[in-house]
Structure 1
Amino acid sequence: MSVELTLLIWSAVLACTYLGVQSTLYRIDYGVEHANSQRDHERAPNKWTVRGERALSNFLETYGLFIALAVATELSGRSDGLTQWGSQIWFWARWAYLPAYFVDVPQLRSLIWTVSLAGLVLLFVGVAF
């Protein structure tokens, strides 16, 4: 199994982690009873819930790109150093991004996001050219 396909499979765990963090923070903020309701009258969330929602949203914005590029790499048989490095960079940067969203270190979150984007670029270049 290629590195890209292996990381694609493990990215499901990554996605579940983002979703788990977001849903846990939501339930801590609003309570389980409210989370199980229709949520028609919802107050503003606290900053941790908002950060969890933003982190999940940000992950989902790039996740589809990773899936498409990893599948294209596998189907085309074009796995090479660029695609393998790109996949690993994206994958590990996305793991680092989640806790970085919750700490207040200036520019850290943006730096990690940029690194993950560089991974997607490497993956694209490796499979497209």
Structure 2
Amino acid sequence: MTSLLQIVVCMTALTFISIMLGAVLRNREWTLDGMKAGLSNRDNLPEATPMGARAEKAAQNTKENFLLFIALAGVAHAAGMGEQATFGAEVFFWARVVYLPVYILGITYVRSAVWGVGIAGLVLMMQTLY
């Protein structure tokens, strides 16, 4: 497996973790009521705490950015440019690792800066295709 594909697998795992973390924090699933909410159809969820709402938003943002990442990674791999795109993919991945806790903890300006670093990683990936 190439380095780029390994990062795709890692980014897939990180996206799954962000989704699960968003649900757990949003529903407070460490409580009995939270477990009931998490196992329900989620029709009548209680109001999210501020941290839970941020975790849910961070998960949504991760899913949105994953779509961009996977498209660029797939094209780079198919074009035989995967190794050249790996550095950008690594920048993107590690920025996302930092982004999740920064967003969940509500560190506003740092969150935007880290998001920008992740986007820079996507731009680096895209540059390898031209």
What band does the TM-score fall into relative to the shorter chain?
Answer: 0.7 to 0.9
Percent identical among aligned pairs is: 30
- Measure how far apart 1:4 and its partner are: 1.3
2 CA distance for matches of 1:79 and 1:39? 41
Q: Secondary structure at the match of 1:24?
A: helix
Aligned residues of 2:2 and 2:83 also touching (Cα < 8 A)? no
Where in structure 1 are there 5+ consecutive unaligned residues? none
Aligned counterparts of 1:4 and 1:124: Cα–Cα separation in 2: 13
CA distance in 1, matches of 2:100, 2:108: 15
Residue 55 of structure 1 and its aligned partner are, at CA, apart by 0.2
Give 2:70's match in structure 1, choosing from 50, 67, 70. Answer: 67
CA contact (8 A) 1:90 1:117 kept: yes
Checking the alignment, whether the CA contact within 8 Å between 2:72 and 2:125 is kept in structure 1 is yes
- Pick the aligned partner of 1:78 from 67, 77, 81: 81
TM-score, normalising length from structure 2? Answer: 0.87
Aligned length: 127
User: Which residue, 92, 95, 98 being the options, matches 1:96?
Assistant: 98
Output the aligned Cα RMSD.
1.7
Residue in 1 that maps onto 2:23: 23
Within 2, Cα distance between the matches of 1:14 and 1:41? 28
Q: CA deviation at 1:106?
A: 4.1
Shift, 1:17, TM fit: 1.4
Q: TM-score, normalised by structure 1?
A: 0.88
Q: Does the alignment pair 1:108 with 2:113?
A: no
Residue identity opposite 1:73 in structure 2: A
